[in-house]
Amino acid sequence: MSHRDNVSPLLCSLKFVTLLVALSPELVFLGAGVQLRDNGYEGLLVAINPQVPENQNLIPNIKEMITEASFYLFNATKRRVFFRNIKILIPATWKANNYGKVKQESYEKANVIVTEWNGVNGDDPYTLQYRGCGREGKYIHFTSNFLLNDDLTTGYGSRGKVFVHEWAHLRWGVFDEYNNDKPFYLDGQNKIKATRCSSDIAGTFVCEKGPCPHENCIISKLFKEGCTFLYNSTQNAAASIMFMQSLSSVVEFCNASTHNQEAPNLQNQMCSLRSSWDVITDSSDFSHSFPMNGTEPPPPPTFSVVQAGNKVVCLVLDVSSKMAEADRYLRLQQAAEFYLMQIVEIHTFVGIASFNSKGQIRAQLHQINSDDDRKLLVSYLPLTVSAEAETSICSGLKKGFEVVEKLNGKASGSVMILVTSGADEHISNCLPTVLGSGATIHSIALGSSEAEKVEELSYRTGGLKFYVPDKSNSNSMVDAFSRISSGTGDIFQQSIQLESMSENVKPYHQMKNTVTVDSSVGNDTVFLVTWRISGPPEIRLLDPTGRKYYTDNFTTSLTSRTAYLCIPGTARPGRWAYSLNNTHHSPRALTVTVASRASSSTVPPATVEVFVEKDSTHFPDPVTIYANVRKGFYPILNATVTAMIEAESGDPVMLKLFDDGAGADVIKNDGIYSRYFFSFAVNGSYSLKVHVSGSPSISTLVHPIAGSHAMYVPGYIANGNIQMNAPRKSAHRSEEEQKWGFSRISSGGSFSVRGVPDGSHPDIFPPCKIIDLEAVKGEEEVTLSWTAPGEDFDQGQATSYEIRISKSLQSIQDDFNNAILVNTSKLNPQQAGTREIFTFLPRLFTNGLAHQPEREIQESHRIYVAIRAMDKNCLRSAVSNIAYVSLSGPPNSDSVPGRDHLILKVVLTALSLIGIICLVMVVTHYTLNKKKSSEKENGTKLL
């Protein structure tokens, strides 16, 4: 490629961006999420799930919560930020009440969601955080009961303060400062402390029958069952919001002076012992804003309530001659037919437009109420491509807008599915129209053409973007259409993809596999078989009962080269086995797709949502792939999750994802499976999809949601009296036994990579950062444990470890290289993902206290540990999270005695009492005898 070839796309991109900037700010930031402008957050979207019953108090309570949160947040951030405007999205299932109309807003894009669901954690508000410290989360979750039941405020605090607690999780990537699993710990002076921040928050140890000395709660430094620590309802401490936002005195985040670095909580683990305020002030929100002048409070937030109307979709399809290449249009026909027959939801209005150099309306809006409506729309799909090579995307979109505007006179809230194979240099001409229409553009780009401008349309309108490579054995087109849903959040109406298999089958060979239909799905189950040349393959399908289906049972279209089988009623749960026999004399590309819908309106099916951290990267930066696997809102653990990444050329790359809290995965057992991808073969676009399978033994209901929750306080000490709150309610649902497991497929769209060098390149990928280092003190030794990184990020096997320790947190944070090195010559790294264990003796840290600075004297019984890995080319990982242990210090009269000390104390006390009694008896006996002797002498004299 010439230098000019490199520069030309860049200039086009610059022109495109320049035009965006020239547009109004409202258009520029469409689809960009929440923005901070002049100290105020704009564009916050709260969405109510369709399963939530209509309640007239819900919207006022949401408004009241965020209004209170805005003033509380403003003061907590030292007059830095507040909430300026908020949109509340009402589901279409609620009655119309003069609400505004949606534009690009949808449930799937919401920052805050409100559902009817509660689980093991009861009504705990929580934030789904899938990235590390200082990184934004996915959404905040509230139950409708939390927002409606005022009794819950006694345990959680006011809703506005809870919202700020969760907002700090979502926006700034800080973590909780409490730990329900480790409510107590030993501090540096060997004292038992409650896990809290700040340490100034006071309370009392409580046994089963009331307050008690803390030694009564301890047996060999372990707490008896039934012991807890209740905090005083009246406090003087101002921090921290990330610990106990329910306290009236708490108005600040923990900062450097109040942060409790010893507490075994997620904030310390994830952020290497940094305070929440330190992390917050490092955010881009704070680096690009300044505190507001004066003493006036910020203006109260403004709210707009919008409601989703009719679901309106228009297919905008490229029919230029470029679509004839590599069977592009045939694959588009097959996928569009499948979308219309299976994917698009009931009661949706659908229209069709096409374009080459000009646009054409193929079908006006038609509402889908039956299979006949679906078949009618399929009949309007273009059958052939034109002879023109020129493409005018603007002409196609213009016709698409004409179609959707026929319903309500506006395009707001509608969806365009744009499929194109050619670059359009004139797309900028219709940008103002597109961005101002209120429509969402989902784009599907085919082949190796430059698709950046089309993808930018999707990004700016909040749509999805997909890439379909020119490969005969790729099923990416069907996968892309299968991923596009209405965005309403109603999982009971959406089509769920169970299988996507494609293969170049040799002559007279078979492609065969099994697909699991679990009991949570089964309605509207469809098997789709596609091929490229000649007639259909020989199809054989076996259901779990042994019933057989053959090619003749399928509805075959020789025009689109598809074969459908719709299973009537609810498909039988279990394993369905299929085989496709290539009876042709040459190799053929065959595909199988299976989709279904929920079998019940009350039991949610397992789902998978796939996404990447960023949709473009520059070599050698990796792409982080995520798969959110859930049943309702319960995380599904121990599933087998595999990503398949396809580039423009070369074989697909298969990559297993993990939910182990190591490498790319931040929180263990949160249902989000993650992995780094860096095997970039070429520059350009990459297509992504994920396959998930679960074994019959997997339980989705016994585990609470891991991660960030607002703390529910079980009770307080008020005026010396114990006041317990109502026990937190949790849902205990009975689930029928799953005998067959489950299977799911979902597309993750596309991402692009630039800067990949030609040919081979030297190793430039270091091991990934260790994020789960833990340290435990034994009798004399310290035992470290962590998850092994790889030779390259989280793949392969590192060469060596570098472990360093220090008595100063500041030293190991700021100058890891000069901390004391631990001998690791006998420590050989294991395969990535393996749990590593290493033990060493820290004796040299027990001396020399007199020569330490005052700050270090306070930490004299604590050592800090960090680790990094090295590969064979001496590339080093980033320094791990910092762990610490408390070493045994000198005897402390305030320390809590263990059982042996208590026994010794009792024995010594008893012996002392016996000694005192004996002494008293001796003295008394001596006194009495002396007195008698004196009286006898006096009597003699008298006589």
Please give the positions annotated as active site: 166
Beta strands in 368-458 (DSSP E): 415-420, 440-446
H/E/C letters for each residue in 100-113? Answer: EECCCCCHHHCCEE
Phi, psi of 782 (to 5 degrees): -115, 130
Kind and range of the H or E run holding 904: helix 899-942
Query: CA-to-CA distance for 443 and 671, rounded, in angstroms?
Result: 28
- Residue 18 burial (CB count, 10 A): 10
Question: Which residue type does 807 have?
Answer: K
Kind and range of the H or E run holding 366: strand 359-367
Question: What is the three-class DSSP state of 607?
Answer: strand
For the chain, state the CA radius of gyration: 33
Cβ pair 835, 770 in contact under 8 A? no
Asked whether the CA dihedral 188, 194, 198, 204 is positive or negative, the reply is negative
**Cβ-count burial 473-512 (b if 16+ within 10 Å, e if not):** ebbbbbbbbbbbbbbbbbbbbbbbbbbbbbbebeeeebbe
Query: CA-to-CA distance for 289 and 612, rounded, in angstroms?
Result: 29
Cβ pair 30, 87 in contact under 8 A? no
Burial class (CB in 10 A: 0-12, 13-18, 19+), 913: exposed
Q: Structure tokens of 29?
A: 């930031």
Cβ pair 746, 690 in contact under 8 A? yes
CA torsion, ordered 745, 748, 753, 757, to nearest 10 deg: -10
C-alpha closest to that of 92 among 488, 362, 412: 488
Kind and range of the H or E run holding 517: strand 510-517
Residue 150 DSSP class: G
CA torsion, ordered 163, 164, 167, 168, to nearest 10 deg: -150
